[in-house]
Structure 1
Amino acid sequence: MTIISANLRKKTHLISGTVLGIFILCHFFNHSLGLISLDAMEAGRRAFNLVWHSLPGTILLYGALLLHFLMALDSLYRRQTLRMPAGEALKIVFGLSLPFLLGAHVVAARVEPIFSGIDADYPGILRALWSSSINTTRQTVALLFVWSHACLGAWFWMRARSWFPRYEILLYTVALLVPIFALLGFVNGARSVGRDYAEHGGYGDKAYASQAQPRVDPALLENIRLALYGGFGGVIAGTFALRALPARGRIRVRYPDGRVAAVSLGFSVLEASRAAGIPHVSVCGGRGRCSTCRVRVIQGLEGQPKPEAAELATLTRIGAPENVRLACQFRPVHSVTVVPILDTDSLGIKTQLARQNGGGRERRVAVLFCDLRDFTRIAEHKLPYDTVFLLNRYFEMVGGAVEGSGGVVDKFIGDGALAIFGLKTSLDEACRQSLTAAVRLSQGIRTLNQTFEGELEQPLRLAIGLHAGPAIIGEMGYGQATSLTAVGDTINTASRLEGLAKEHDVELAVSAELVQRAGLSFEGKRRLEISLRGRQATLETWIIGNAEDIAEILPTAV
């Protein structure tokens, strides 16, 4: 039974982590003052203690620490599988190791002063840490681990936010510089302690007056340290032991390719995919902050738990229909069949066909330009990850249509694409291939519209331009940006025809020259004589409202 909702648990984890992050940032800034002087470190410590050693600050700090630790263990316990991306695994490992790395430091800096009545100052702490290579190494590792844990947590939260790309470089710079300055301040401060020691010939000066006063029994402090280690270790081990207890009930999550994940009741669909080794995209790490893991439930939706607030907000934002759920939040209570909307292949474009013998010469080719109409307006109402996902599905469709017809995708330009036909075939064959590709693009865009019918405010529309003629084919670019491409008047003309298709609100504008080369007749279709910049003669062009309409006159069925 859930005592508090998942949404409240997430908010508690996030807020407590934010408090701890602020404390760490202040603490590391205090360390960095060692680059100025030991006195600056001490002045910073006194200001730091006014906040964090006060009664409200202490309650806030240790309350946040306790809540964050408990929420982390709760999350670990509820996680149905330990299969996860490397970033999530590192975050957990860093977090679970911190009690054992920081235990001795906490006892020396906070527990011992309670018993002795002597405030722990930087000279004493630095001398103790610097006097032993083990202490120095442990403290350095702890600093890096706690900062890495904080940064990973912040990154998982921020990367799905629309404003993150604008500040990404700044945030990465801060994430890199903070531990560097903290470590440099730590080293310089420790060296200052050594210089002061040599100057004064001992610890009798005011900087080390506390060393002459009675200290706490070391055996007592050691027992406290061991108790902390044992307590944290026992709680963490107990969490893993509870995870190992057999869960009641089994359900099956079925996928469209026939694979089945048989998991215990309580698994989310995302966890079921990971447990079964089935690739499943989740950009935000399974926290319900993006929609990339969403699935369409095609069987078994009846009687399932309704979306909670966080999931419902994301689904509402993207306008998802009722049978679409976030895989990371959806925990079925009985078997279901789901279709991941974003598959792993959609994250990249298929490897293009080899393009040997295509460089450094002039060749007569057929060129296809296509572009999505009004896509900017559509993207304005979608989350960034959804926009990327939709574009990649579109690019995948374009790549499949072009390559399946015998062409090569030269490049993608925004939401448009340039494809070349005829690198290995005759010009006549290339013209037929380009027309076949246009038909497949028309069919493909309609399939995409059917797939995303419940998520698009308006259907996707294509504008396609086709032309044939001479072009310069070669490897062009600089460094790693070099690729096979084509330039010339034929490319420009195809681009102009794509624009003409938009102007006339049709799907295809194809030059009569290409149609003639393909050995076809478009009699009965609309024909225009258009003028092109830089040309005196007009270009005879066929205007086709729906490119799929020419499938019947192509020599092979599409």
Structure 2
Amino acid sequence: MTTASVTGIFSERSIRRARLGSGLVIFVFVLLHLSNHALGLVSFAAADKARHLFLALWRNPVGTVLFYGSVLVHVTLVLRAIYIRRSLVMPKGEATQMVLGLLIPLLLIDHVIGTRIAHELYGYIDNYETIVSMLWLRTPATGVRQALGLIAVWIHGCIGIHYWLRYRPWYGGFAPLLLALAILVPVLSLLGFVEMGRTLADPAYQLTSIEPYATTVNSHYVSDPAIRSHIAMVRAGLYGAFSASLIIVVAARTRRRLKERLDQVAVHYPGGEVIRVPRGFTVLEASRLGGLPHYSVCGGKGQCSTCRVQILGDYQKLPPPDKLEQTTLKRINAGPDVRLACQLRPDADVAVAPLLVPAVEAALPANSQETSPGREREIVVLFVDIRHFTTLTETRLPFDVVFLLNRYFAIIGKAVEQAGGRLDKFIGDGAMALFGLNAAPEEACRQALDAAAAIVVGIEKLAAELAEELTLPLRIAIGIHTGPAVVGTMGYGRVRSMTAIGDTVNVASRLESAAKEFDAAIVFSEPVARLAAADLAGIESREISVRGRALPLKVYVVPREKAAEPLEGKA
């Protein structure tokens, strides 16, 4: 991908948006078209009534320009993406999407010619009786090809939608429903086509239902040699244009590759690997060509920092980062020797060290594994811990300690889940919970404060129940903070779970320790109070120093006697 500015009509960001927008228009067209086919399960009449609505939407000047313009833009940008992509080594999902995208024109050009083009040029009546009769009775092989084209275009579109939405906070919850729809739509469409074909094959239906006018017009269209010759020329032109475009792209790539073989640079890695690539390749493309695993959550678009590398040597001699790379590096406060591998195109030999090194599973080829370290999100983190736990349990039997911890963990888990959060992990006698995975930051802050109050109430009841058995009163300390953190699935082998890491998590842990120092039940940061619009009447505020932060952090300290009271805002 060539370096481009972040803004402007022809910037990479604008081009990606144009490709996404055109793809969405085509996807909506296909979704409505397949849904129309599915009504064939009801009857021909139902499918034809829906067809009139479909044609009213798309066979007007605006709909025509929108759809066919989107097709032209999308195909052009896909061919451009194939050309500028330095390496065709990619994850299986991307490869499948690309191959299907190239097959779609070859599978569907005849269908477009036999419907829209024939209708516009010669008045061909392309209703369901005509098309199903052609594909089911007269040329079933063409019908099979159209069915394959239907499946190809649908899978291609669904993969694109998945890549577009996969890092949205709400996508995980809706993914099962979307998967069910992705399966049902083409299945019902094919079943509708089959049902219409079986109905049309019934001699009784043919004798009573085929429209005489449509039959006469279409028979003239099929039998007229001049019309057939013209249609053949149109077909040759469309197939030739697409084939020529593809050949030009392949030829341009081949020419560029032959030229670049004479001008290569070497990328050195910490493990001793040396990968030689043509000048103009990115470091990420070098890693992929060499079969080295390299994180790139955003797919090499410069929108995340997971592919970042440290330059081992004189980094000042490298090409300076463009605006897109500068923006991303600034967000993570990267040092001057840190660059994004997907954007850095060294013009001389360079030594790099990836800063996020994935552990590749032995059973998976390096280039086929889609590493998924997570995505930065705005969340709320809650830490809770039992005070003086060692003293409380040093004279108790191990099974008694297990009983106490299970009661304690049950209180925390119930409070967190009822408030709308997710229990992340238990750490000894402490626990960590996350809020905001499926909620806005404001709502997440209120949920965390509600959960903290519920935990305090539950612990007080447990303390009263076990008062005679414990040497010290049962007390807890809770810390709550909000901010950006990387949320993703982490672990090894089968021991994997979703968790969060980052400065926000560290600060929340520090606030839990501060609660112990202040002999308080809850300490939450000023950002949490502000987003939750918390009622702070009678709540003491302080400023504390947090390791790793230059400025002190304002926090609110909730004493035990007020901790069970709700803190949500009055607005």
Q: Secondary structure at the match of 1:338?
A: strand
The structural deviation recorded for 1:98 is 0.9
**What is the match of residue 238 of structure 1?**
248
| Mapped pair 1:343 → 2:354 | no
Residues 370, 283 of structure 1: alpha-carbon distance in 2 compared, 3 angstrom cutoff: farther
**Which digits, 9 at most, give the CA deviation of each residue in 1:276-319, with x for residues without a partner?**
1111123443344544333333445434242444x555555555
Is the 1:129–1:135 Cα contact (8 Å) retained in structure 2?
Answer: yes
Is the 2:34–2:185 Cα contact (8 Å) retained in structure 1?
Answer: yes
Is the 1:373–1:461 Cα contact (8 Å) retained in structure 2?
Answer: no
Structure 2, unaligned stretches of length 5 or more? Answer: 5-9, 361-370, 374-397, 400-426, 436-478, 519-571
**What is the match of residue 566 of structure 2?**
none
The structural deviation recorded for 1:387 is 3.0
The structural deviation recorded for 1:130 is 1.0
Distance in 2 separating the partners of 1:373 and 1:98: 49
Q: Secondary structure at the match of 2:272?
A: coil
Amino acid at match of 1:180: V
**Residues paired across the two proteins, number:** 403
**What is the match of residue 191 of structure 2?**
184
Q: Secondary structure at the match of 1:120?
A: coil
Residues 73, 375 of structure 1: alpha-carbon distance in 2 compared, 3 angstrom cutoff: same
Q: How does 1:201-280 map to 2 (within 5 A)?
A: 203=210, 205=212, 208=215, 210-215=217-222, 217-245=227-255, 246-248=258-260, 249-280=263-294
| Mapped pair 1:38 → 2:44 | yes
Residues 221, 256 of structure 1: alpha-carbon distance in 2 compared, 3 angstrom cutoff: same
Residues 223, 84 of structure 1: alpha-carbon distance in 2 compared, 3 angstrom cutoff: same
**What is the match of residue 70 of structure 1?**
76
Residues 328, 40 of structure 1: alpha-carbon distance in 2 compared, 3 angstrom cutoff: farther
Structure 1, unaligned stretches of length 5 or more? Answer: 350-361, 400-409, 417-451, 464-498, 506-558
**What is the match of residue 17 of structure 2?**
11
The structural deviation recorded for 1:92 is 0.6
| Mapped pair 1:388 → 2:488 | yes
**Which digits, 9 at most, give the CA deviation of each residue in 1:428-464, with x for residues without a partner?**
xxxxxxxxxxxxxxxxxxxxxxxx9xx746858989x
Q: How does 1:455-494 map to 2 (within 5 A)?
A: 456=503
Distance in 2 separating the partners of 1:253 and 1:501: 47
Q: Which residue of 113, 125, 132 corresponds with 2:131? A: 125
**What is the match of residue 34 of structure 2?**
28
Residues 214, 261 of structure 1: alpha-carbon distance in 2 compared, 3 angstrom cutoff: closer
Q: How does 1:282-321 map to 2 (within 5 A)?
A: 282-302=296-316, 303-309=318-324, 311=325, 314-315=328-329, 318=332, 320-321=334-335
Distance in 1 separating the partners of 2:350 and 2:249: 29
The CA RMSD over aligned residues, in Å, is: 4.0
| Mapped pair 1:93 → 2:99 | yes
**What is the match of residue 551 of structure 1?**
none
Q: Secondary structure at the match of 1:251?
A: strand
**What is the match of residue 330 of structure 1?**
344
Q: Which residue of 85, 89, 94 corresponds with 1:83? A: 89
State which drifts further: 294-303 or 98-107: 294-303
Distance in 1 separating the partners of 2:229 and 2:498: 68
Is the 2:310–2:354 Cα contact (8 Å) retained in structure 1?
Answer: yes
Is the 1:266–1:331 Cα contact (8 Å) retained in structure 2?
Answer: yes
Amino acid at match of 2:231: L
**What is the match of residue 67 of structure 2?**
61
The structural deviation recorded for 1:33 is 1.5
Q: How does 1:444-455 map to 2 (within 5 A)?
A: none
Structure 1 length as normaliser, TM-score? 0.63
Residues 13, 164 of structure 1: alpha-carbon distance in 2 compared, 3 angstrom cutoff: same
Distance in 2 separating the partners of 1:380 and 1:328: 30
Distance in 1 separating the partners of 2:326 and 2:332: 10
Distance in 2 separating the partners of 1:374 and 1:334: 47
**Which digits, 9 at most, give the CA deviation of each residue in 1:399-449, with x for residues without a partner?**
9xxxxxxxxxx9788769xxxxxxxxxxxxxxxxxxxxxxxxxxxxxxxxx
The structural deviation recorded for 1:43 is 1.5
Structure 2 length as normaliser, TM-score? 0.61
Distance in 2 separating the partners of 1:15 and 1:287: 17
The structural deviation recorded for 1:31 is 1.2
Q: Secondary structure at the match of 2:265?
A: strand
